[in-house]
Homo-oligomer: A and B are copies of this chain.
Amino acid sequence: MSRISVEHAKLIRQLETIAPLDDDDRSALAALPLRLKVFGADQDIVREGERATEACVILDGFVCRYKMTAGGRRQIVSFHFPGDLPDLQSLALEVMDHSLAALTQTRVAFVAHDAIVRAVEAHSGVAAALTKHALIDGSIFREWIANVGQRPALARIAHVICECFVRMRALGLAADTSFELPLTQAEIGDATGLSNVHVNRTMQELRRQGLIAIHGKTHSILDWDQLQETADFRPSYLHLRPEFIS
């Protein structure tokens, strides 16, 4: 098997958390030409309304997808970590129905749609993994609708924390009980449909209950069982392969 770059390795690692790949699939992915680019915090990577000819892979940093609503309110619809393919849908839906933005300084790799299509056509494992990736994307959205639509503030915020923790742990980006979550309270508010003030008070409550602790960007899970309980969090909707749930 040919040598695999650090960049390609992150993409492959991500796909392997949801679907098995054989050596052939991996080398096909490792051969994808990447166009690297760095974005500063709060910069848009792709904007709603644009027509995309490339999809991107997050290499470093923290990214979100969002939609603007009348009255200038922002709804964040997903968070993304290194390895994620946050705009795979652009393969078939040319014009973006939402924007993609860097939350921290972010290194991104753009991959031409053509190249992805060729890899998909020649390697059924790649096709299966990308299909699954796109469908899990949808599954996570369903859970977010339920989160924002039905859960009280405490559960809503706890749920976002649980999801980030489990997904980052699957990618090897989180230790046993602590991880770096560089989100501001305002951003958590935009993801949960709550005001930053209320996010603040609610997170104080999570700390008061001894569920989490926060020092800077480092979030520690103090009581994982109880946190999942108050979050109403069950990770099945992430459709991770069992060995990556831990």
Contact = CB atoms under 8 A, between A and B. Distances in A.
A152 to B, nearest CB: 9
A233 to B, nearest CB: 10
A180 to B, nearest CB: 25
Interface of A: 65, 67, 69-70, 73-75, 77, 89, 91-93, 95, 97-98, 128, 131-132, 134-139, 141-146, 148-151, 155, 192-193, 232, 236-237, 239
Given A69-B146, A77-B142, A145-B141, A136 B93 contact: yes
B77 A146 contact: yes
B70 A239 contact: no
Given A70-B155, A148-B149, A131 B232 contact: no
A149 B75 contact: yes
Contact of A145 (B131, B132, B144, B232): B144
Contacts of A75: 145-146, 149-150
Given A89-B135, A93-B135, A145-B148, 15 more contacts: A67-B146, A69-B232, A70-B151, A73-B150, A75-B146, A75-B150, A77-B145, A91-B131, A91-B135, A93-B139, A93-B239, A95-B236, A98-B142, A131-B134, A141-B142
